[in-house]
Structure 1
Amino acid sequence: MPAATSSAFRSVPDMLRDRVRRSGDGEAFRYPDGDQWRTLTWSQVWERARAIALGLHSLGVRSQQRCGILAGTRMDWILADMGVMCAGGATTTIYPTTTAEGCAYIVADSGSVVVFAEDDAQIAKLREQRANMPELTRVITFDGTPDGDWVLSLADLEARGRELAESEPELFDELVDGVGIDDLATLIYTSGTTGNPKGVRLAQSNWVYVAEAMHETGEMSAEDVQYLWLPLSHVFGKVLQVGQIRTGYLTAVDGRIDRIVDNLAVVRPTFVAGAPRIFEKIYNKVVMQAKEGGELKYKIFRWACAVGLEISRLQQEGKQPGLGLKVQHAIADKLVFSTLREKFGGRLRFFISGSAALAPDIARFFHGAGVLVAEGYGLTETTAASFVNRTNDFRIGTVGQPLPGTEVRIAEDGEVLLRGGGVMRGYHNMPEATAEVISGDGWFHTGDIGELDEAGRLRITDRKKDLIKTSGGKYVAPQSVEGKLKALCPYLSNVVVFGDKRPYCTALVTLDEESIVEWAQANDLAGLSYAELAAHEKAREMVAAAVEDLNATLNRHETIKKFAILPRELTIEHNEVTPSLKIKRKVVADNHVDAIDELYPNTVETI
């Protein structure tokens, strides 16, 4: 395996200790406490991590033993994770939406001996399944009710740690020094579309590599302010946490999705990462607000968008706009785009988009408005950060160039292969599954189909297993079609294209619950439920018009011949989307088999 980006650090705890030495009194985090925002300096973070680590040590946690975190994104999650790693343990991440049975599987399979549980609802899941988690000895709760025995409060754990620190003042540094570069750091269970999830084993070396590689790009500096709302149980959120330790930027943490827009104005971040669905929702809301302003305001908005898109196109081609276009863009910026940027806090340098494909038309809209959405790419198995567009060298529709130390190769069948310091150590307790995806010479098979441009930027065209082959023998990349339709119709939340082994392509679509209410009011349908709107002929006509516009841009075999509007949105609860908002196509197909069958009524048409 080629040498990865070099580092002077042997572990994340070692890196954290160095950050504290460099920036001890500097502000590290902001987090909400009621209606106020509190702060923690790096030195205060270190003190909290030490108390948690020594508290865990007092409970018997030793080198590479797993400690689960079953909670949403919050300051306590980060402190618990730091404490686990400083104790020499490894963090098992568990989404708070996971069922009791799912929690039990992950805790048991990982062999977790301690679990941090957010509140009483999460504790209840663990109590229900306690008999199925034989190695779990203690639960530490952030907001739940301790019982004086099996369940301890986080404050109680830290008190135990501080007591141990007084009696053994050298112990904490000894624990940090004892964490090795090859030690297990994190177990992240991927959301499988079938069967149980697989635990991805990420070592200290994986996190040190991505932290160094991100730092080497120079995209973030110690002066930046990050707003972090992403699920920390997901590798995308976790990598931004580790990157912060290496570079030293301030992070504001709040996992409440309904607070994102309000928080942007308060935190005033310089960069924010998110999944494509977030950018789609922002886009939809902007379009709806323009329409609500009346015909003249919407006409100005559409004109501004056209100007912005032309500016974006020229910049992507390395060209400069003429004087006339520059004047038009200045006017468009004053009337439309500056207001949008103010909603983001007024000093945002860029967004980062990852975890799924971002529709290029959405990216072009933001770019034209003066807000770069830098799309990146990586998997849990590659510690998230493998590719990213640079702010000074980006191409919309690609995920950019590889991070330093990551190699890429395109296989004969188009599959993207990766090798480097980010590649996992394997699937937990699954050597055969590991051998299926990592070759003997270290190449990881991503399962994604892609191509490289002349500058080495990667374009992902689809998942290898998601490619559709119609009964006429034509291949269709569904994600591309889906993204285009969502960009054309701001009232859609999800689009799932079908057509494998079928004579033509069809789509199941869901309406965006927020924007469709506003649409309903404008179309004399106010007061109707989501299901009633989904079944209404006006809604069908609205979607049909967008599908017609879409089809005009596609090859004939890619066109959507028929579609159905589902009576509800796709949800995590129905197992149709992952917590990181990726669509589970097979589950959607299984849950809506009747709707799909109605789109193929005894037809033999072939294209």
Structure 2
Amino acid sequence: MGGQKGGSWLPFLYDNDHRWPKIERKRRYCGTGFGRSDCGGGGLNQSQKLSGKTVPALLSQFLQREPHHIVFASKRNGRWIDRSARECFEYIRKAMAGLRALGFQKGDCVCLLAENREEWTLTDWAAQWLGGSTTAIYTTSSTSDIEHILNECEAKFIFCSNQELFEKLGDLGRYPSVKAVVLWDDFDGMPKEKAGVPVLKEKEFLKDSLSVEEASQLALEVDPESRSILLYTSGTTGEPKGVELTQKAFTANIHQMHNAIPLEELSLTMSFLPLSHIYERSLQTTVVLIGIKVCFAESIEKLVENIAEIRPDMMIGVPRVFEKMFVKVQEKLRESSVAKRLVARLSFEIGKRTVPYRLKEEDLPLSLQLPMTLANLLVFKKIRAITGGRLKFFVSGGAPLSKEIAEFFFQMGIVILEGYGLSETMILSVNRPGKIRFGTVGLAFDDTEFKIAEDGEILVRGPQLMKGYFRRPEQTEEVFTEDGFFKTGDIGKLDGEGYLSITDRKKEIIITAAGKNIAPQPIENKIKSFPFAEQVCVIGDQRKYLTALIVPNLEICQSWARSKASGVSGSLKSVRDCVESKAVQDRFQEILDEVNKDLGRYATIKYFRLIDRPFSIEKNELTPSMKLKRRVIQENFRDQIESMYPPEDRQATASQSS
């Protein structure tokens, strides 16, 4: 996207070695069906479009129409192994037969506890195909959350990937509704039953198969109003709640994403966000139905290596991924020679000047064409190599993305299309090529309405909304208005053109002792835009002023400490060393002074404390989707927090809250 378009006097800008990333927005379909026309693309050649009111109906057509099309790829024994549409359909039919043999009935719920893998998705589709639904548990979930989810949803069948996750289930006798557990990767000493519950190897489970004809017919019989997904919220303020999403809602969302995001010219993506996350799950089904091949990352640790091997042209990410990429780029630049740092600084200045033109997909003026070409060749192309070099764009969701980070990546040709959605609503909006506005989550999808309540809360109405909270009718009623709008719990604004910006979660708004309402997340994001900060939690509810708990980034602090300008005496071997270093503390004070310049006086950070360990899921300070549990953090770090407030402030706070 961006750069001089066809007919440029700088043709080498677009050759195979030096091309500037562009997004082809030519539509290759008509109507509301899925798939591509005879002109092809992505390895598909479909003269007819897919149509259907349920996910199984769409999949049944897709998998049978192009049997040789490669749907998935996974790395096994050092080699990427493809799985075709025919092989996927065969697996699904075997999984359907296996579920039936275990006693699966229409309306039953299957639980998936595994990392992203082909079997995860294919088993999910098989359960839906039989008229059931699936619930997914994050591999990082606590034992108490696992027990709560399994017992509330009354899952009858659990699918685990390996011994570690199987053992995480603990005593199967705690789950009275469970009839069987299936392991995709068996292990030595694997029991045949546990607490009276059969434990099956994948081969045993897949020993039979439904016929093509029966499976095709069953796909047509799935009720659009039936439950497709039972998705559990991350539980930032309490127990996870089950969200019921219907086939009708899921299919509507697939159509909406297909119409909003330019996917037709893409061919390859990498799956690494947990499939328990609604963003990954819904977008993965959408891209499969478009004909985009999905490659599963081996692990987060091997993600960079896998990306270099696969070279995807689109990926789904969350802000934490981009924050870490940003930190790595900053670290590399800091360790470069003076000359290289100067070239990088000039390149980013040039990149910044091109942004207004590229956002509108306009030709660059002649005065910027050659400078931008050189910046691309000398700096940007090398940085983009970490994404494989072919990436057209990322789609980001799950939490607000820092405006500064989005602009930083856009300057060098890495486009991030930020969107918005919740467990209860699926995906609602996204920025689109040619219609990107930094700091917003874009425009609403088709048939989706946003409005802002008097207190600033975002309300939304659309066909992709949940049916309700599972077995919680009163809570369901509380979150819907009389005219059918869902109360998102987010605070935000709509501009005159319909672009939505998210400020923070309504429950996380800080109300100071003076009655000022302050959203902590934008402040935290500003601090994290400096790579020295790994995690940040702003404090100040019912207090006279704001303070912050900050976890330093050890690698960045170590890199900085090696420079003569840092003034650090000795080496920084641990986060504890960073916390205790006067030079590091002074550097963080400089960062906060810089952040405070752009904040209103009442929203500035007066004091901070560096923390010697990261906030973690294990200590219940983060949800499985890595969101802060602020109440737990404030309890666990009470001493550090109270040390930033003198006794008279504590007394004032106590008297106001009593």
TM-score between both structures, scaled by the size of structure 2 = 0.86
Tell me, in whole angstroms, the C-alpha distance in 2 between the residues paired with 1:298 and 1:169. 61
The answer as to whether partners of 2:543 and 2:649 remain within 8 angstroms in 1 is: no
Partner of 1:561: 606
**Aligned counterpart for 1:191 among listed residues 208, 227, 234:** 234
The answer as to whether partners of 1:224 and 1:249 remain within 8 angstroms in 2 is: yes
Secondary structure at the aligned position of 2:345 is classed as: helix
Q: Are residues 1:140 and 2:182 paired?
A: yes
Partner of 2:52: 9
Tell me, in whole angstroms, the C-alpha distance in 2 between the residues paired with 1:74 and 1:538. 45
Partner of 2:132: 89
The answer as to whether partners of 1:19 and 1:246 remain within 8 angstroms in 2 is: yes
Secondary structure at the aligned position of 2:647 is classed as: coil
Partner of 1:113: 156
Partner of 2:262: 219
- One-letter amino acid of the counterpart of residue 205, structure 2: L
Partner of 2:535: 494
Cα gap change, 1:480 to 1:27, in 2 (>3 Å): same
Tell me, in whole angstroms, the C-alpha distance in 2 between the residues paired with 1:121 and 1:130. 15
Partner of 2:550: 509
Partner of 1:387: 429
**Aligned counterpart for 2:68 among listed residues 11, 18, 25:** 25
Secondary structure at the aligned position of 2:424 is classed as: helix
**Aligned counterpart for 1:58 among listed residues 84, 95, 101:** 101
Runs of 4+ in 1 over 6 A off after TM superposition: 317-320
Partner of 2:7: none
Tell me, in whole angstroms, the C-alpha distance in 1 between the residues paired with 2:527 and 2:146. 36
Partner of 2:480: 438
Q: How far does the alpha carbon of each residue in 1:202-246 deviate from its partner, in whole angstroms, 9 at most, with x for none?
A: 111121111111111251126431111010011111112221233
**Aligned counterpart for 1:99 among listed residues 118, 142, 146:** 142
How far did 1:255 drift? Answer: 5.6
**Aligned counterpart for 2:166 among listed residues 111, 123, 135:** 123
Percent identity over the alignment is: 34
- One-letter amino acid of the counterpart of residue 474, structure 2: E
- One-letter amino acid of the counterpart of residue 409, structure 1: K
Secondary structure at the aligned position of 2:303 is classed as: helix
Alignment of 1:527-538 (within 5 A): 528-538=573-583
Q: Relative to total residues, which structure has the larger helix share, 1 or 2?
A: 1
Q: How far does the alpha carbon of each residue in 1:444-463 deviate from its partner, in whole angstroms, 9 at most, with x for none?
A: 00011111112211111111
The answer as to whether partners of 2:359 and 2:434 remain within 8 angstroms in 1 is: no
Q: Are residues 1:476 and 2:518 paired?
A: yes
Partner of 2:372: 329
Tell me, in whole angstroms, the C-alpha distance in 1 between the residues paired with 2:343 and 2:524. 28
Partner of 1:550: 595
Tell me, in whole angstroms, the C-alpha distance in 1 between the residues paired with 2:497 and 2:65. 37
How far did 1:496 drift? Answer: 1.3
Secondary structure at the aligned position of 1:105 is classed as: helix
Tell me, in whole angstroms, the C-alpha distance in 1 between the residues paired with 2:537 and 2:471. 33
- One-letter amino acid of the counterpart of residue 615, structure 2: L
Tell me, in whole angstroms, the C-alpha distance in 1 between the residues paired with 2:73 and 2:553. 32
The answer as to whether partners of 1:355 and 1:582 remain within 8 angstroms in 2 is: no
Partner of 1:353: 396
The answer as to whether partners of 1:222 and 1:250 remain within 8 angstroms in 2 is: no
Q: Are residues 1:156 and 2:200 paired?
A: no
Q: CA RMSD in A?
A: 2.1
How far did 1:321 drift? Answer: 5.6
Alignment of 1:267-346 (within 5 A): 267-313=310-356, 315-316=358-359, 322-346=365-389
Tell me, in whole angstroms, the C-alpha distance in 2 between the residues paired with 1:526 and 1:603. 39
Tell me, in whole angstroms, the C-alpha distance in 1 between the residues paired with 2:307 and 2:612. 33
Q: How far does the alpha carbon of each residue in 1:334-371 deviate from its partner, in whole angstroms, 9 at most, with x for none?
A: 21101112221111111111101111000000000011
Partner of 1:79: 122
- One-letter amino acid of the counterpart of residue 490, structure 2: D
The answer as to whether partners of 1:235 and 1:380 remain within 8 angstroms in 2 is: yes
How far did 1:574 drift? Answer: 1.6
Secondary structure at the aligned position of 1:378 is classed as: strand
Tell me, in whole angstroms, the C-alpha distance in 1 between the residues paired with 2:300 and 2:54. 32
The answer as to whether partners of 1:193 and 1:587 remain within 8 angstroms in 2 is: no
Secondary structure at the aligned position of 2:116 is classed as: coil
How far did 1:318 drift? Answer: 8.3
TM-score between both structures, scaled by the size of structure 1 = 0.93
How far did 1:185 drift? Answer: 1.0
Cα gap change, 1:72 to 1:417, in 2 (>3 Å): same
Cα gap change, 1:155 to 1:472, in 2 (>3 Å): same
Which piece of structure 1 moves more, 390-399 or 17-26? 17-26
The answer as to whether partners of 1:120 and 1:144 remain within 8 angstroms in 2 is: yes
Alignment of 1:243-262 (within 5 A): 243-254=286-297, 256-262=299-305
Q: Which runs of 5+ in 1 are unaligned?
A: none
Q: Are residues 1:466 and 2:529 paired?
A: no
Which piece of structure 1 moves more, 550-559 or 64-73? 550-559
Cα gap change, 1:64 to 1:520, in 2 (>3 Å): farther
How far did 1:313 drift? Answer: 4.6
Secondary structure at the aligned position of 2:450 is classed as: strand
The answer as to whether partners of 1:349 and 1:371 remain within 8 angstroms in 2 is: yes
Q: How far does the alpha carbon of each residue in 1:398-447 deviate from its partner, in whole angstroms, 9 at most, with x for none?
A: 00001112111111111111111110011111111111112233210001
Cα gap change, 1:373 to 1:223, in 2 (>3 Å): closer
The answer as to whether partners of 1:378 and 1:387 remain within 8 angstroms in 2 is: yes
**Aligned counterpart for 1:236 among listed residues 268, 272, 279:** 279
Tell me, in whole angstroms, the C-alpha distance in 2 between the residues paired with 1:313 and 1:361. 15
Secondary structure at the aligned position of 2:158 is classed as: strand
Secondary structure at the aligned position of 1:413 is classed as: coil
Secondary structure at the aligned position of 1:251 is classed as: strand
Partner of 1:451: 493
Cα gap change, 1:171 to 1:22, in 2 (>3 Å): closer
Give the length in aligned residue pairs. 594
- One-letter amino acid of the counterpart of residue 535, structure 2: N
Q: How far does the alpha carbon of each residue in 1:358-408 deviate from its partner, in whole angstroms, 9 at most, with x for none?
A: 11000000000011111100000012x101000121101100001112111
Tell me, in whole angstroms, the C-alpha distance in 2 between the residues paired with 1:34 and 1:491. 38
- One-letter amino acid of the counterpart of residue 515, structure 1: I
Q: How far does the alpha carbon of each residue in 1:160-209 deviate from its partner, in whole angstroms, 9 at most, with x for none?
A: x33xx3xx664333432321101111111112124321011111112111
**Aligned counterpart for 2:622 among listed residues 563, 569, 577:** 577
Cα gap change, 1:437 to 1:455, in 2 (>3 Å): same
Q: How far does the alpha carbon of each residue in 1:515-537 deviate from its partner, in whole angstroms, 9 at most, with x for none?
A: 33433444564352222222221
